[in-house]
Amino acid sequence: MIRFLSRSVFAAAIAFGAAAVTTPTVVHAQSSESLAQLQTELDALDTMTDTLGPMRKSAEIRLQQMTDFLKQSGKTNDEVKWSSENPTTFHALSFQQAYSEAVKQQGSRGAAKPSSNDADLLGREVNAQKVMTQDQWSVVNKLHQQVQQRTDYIRSIKGMNDYEKFAAAATKKRMADHTAAKPATDRQSEQGGITPAQRQANIEKYQNQQATLRRHWDHYHFTFATSDGPPPGGPFANRNYDYSNDESGYSYDNDDYYDGSYYNGYADPYYDVWGRHHGIYPREAARAGDRIHQAYDRGSNPNPPIEPQSAHPANSRVDPDASSFPAARGGGRRR
């Protein structure tokens, strides 16, 4: 399992975690049911931690890439002024919403086997892990907000086509020296007494579990759209490319998740960071500079590989200019 803090720091967090969490610590009965539930919650938090790592990394790379693009274009000062006059809002899921969804989905890995018979110890571990995971969730949401603000500015100057060309060149350089990160493992992948093939199969199941969780967060994110503005998911949330205006005739459609875009949502494949999916739209259609590549369209590309799945280019040596990327297993539409 990937962790953001060392085990010594984590141990200290367990000791003091209950005081740091805003919700009161619940005293659990020493029953098999309560132990299993606590372990499910702890495993769900571990899954969230492992899932948020790649999300944070990709968002950070995109944000820096956009910064470099604006510096090259001599637009940095203009962007600061424009953003101060045109603030945008990322309609983020709260940590509790994301956590509740993760606990629900943890059942896909089977019944939890408690790592301890001490309910108080497991409760403290859950509370401590919540503190760390909530912090990481806040960091990721802040990055989404920053990406949305910067994207809105680039759209305002009709610069998305130019940004995509800049990103493609940066991606090619990045991937030339890229080494895939060691895959995260869960308790089933780390258990003893299994063959290497079984371990690899468990790792792939865990990767698919994380990707499915990201898709569920993305769908849940859409479901909880506010009525006073664009649906959540970023600058290209719905109708994929066009904001509602009298000239285009487009309007927001909150009825169908698959009428929108992955861009800057929780299931974003980050094609501008890791390479683009040319297999779906082989032709480059002429489009205005406030639009993005159509591979981000959910309706036409309902199940793209996303991190940490092995089919995603961040976890393979797929040429970012290849004709297509391999399809990912699992996931798909929630409906």
One DSSP character per residue, 124-157 reads: HHHHHHHHHHHHHHHHHHHHHHHHHHHHHHHHHT
Please, which pLDDT band fits residue 56 given cuts at 50, 70 and 90? Answer: very high
Structure tokens at 297: 């369209």
d(CA 152, CA 157) in angstroms, rounded, equals 9
The single-letter code of the amino acid at 76 is T
CB crowding 102-131: b at 16 or more within 10 Å, else e: bbebbeebeebebeeeebeebbbbbbbbbb
Residue 304 has pLDDT above 80, yes or no: yes
* Least confident stretch, 20-34, 53-67, 300-314: 20-34
Q: What is the pLDDT of residues 179-202, one digit of tens each?
A: 888 888 888 778 788 898 998 998
Range scoring the smallest mean pLDDT among 30-44, 173-187, 237-251, 252-266: 237-251
For residue 241, which phi and psi values (nearest 5 degrees)? -130, -30
Give mean pLDDT, residues 11-18. Answer: 48
CB atoms < 10 A from the CB of 313, how many? 26
- Average per-residue pLDDT in the chain? 78
Predicted local confidence at residue 18, as pLDDT: 44
DSSP-derived secondary structure for 29-98: PS-HHHHHHHHHHHHHHHHHHHHHHHHHHHHHHHHHHHHHHHHHHT-HHHHHHHHHHS-----PPPHHHH
Give ∠ CA 87-91-97 in degrees, rounded to 5: 150
The CA distance from 258 to 332, in Å, is 11
pLDDT band at 117 (very low <50, low <70, confident <90, very high): very high
Average pLDDT over residues 217-224: 82
Query: Is a pLDDT exceeding 50 seen at residue 314?
Result: yes
How far is Cα of residue 139 from the mean position of the Cα atoms in its chain? 12
Whether the pLDDT of residue 240 is over 60: the answer is no
Cis preceding linkage at 308, omega within 30: yes
Lowest mean pLDDT segment, chosen from 46-50, 58-62, 107-111, 206-210: 107-111
For residue 306, name the pLDDT band (cuts at 50, 70, 90).
Answer: very high
Quote the pLDDT of residue 43.
Answer: 95
Asked if 272 and 164 touch (Cβ cutoff 8 Å), the reply is: yes
Per-residue pLDDT for 248 more than 90?
no
Using pLDDT thresholds of 50, 70 and 90, give the confidence band for residue 232: low
Percentage of the chain exceeding pLDDT 90: 44
Q: Look at 8-12, 77-81, 152-156, 191-195 and tell me which has the smallest mean pLDDT.
A: 8-12
* Whether residue 211 has pLDDT greater than 60: yes
Q: What is the pLDDT of residue 38?
A: 94
Q: What is the pLDDT of residue 72?
A: 93
User: Which CA distances in Å does 311 have to 132, 200, 232, 319?
Assistant: 29, 14, 27, 12
Query: Who's near 332: CB < 8 A, 6+ residues apart?
Result: 215, 302, 303
Residue 244 has pLDDT above 60, yes or no: no
Count of Cβ atoms closer than 10 Å to residue 165 Cβ: 11
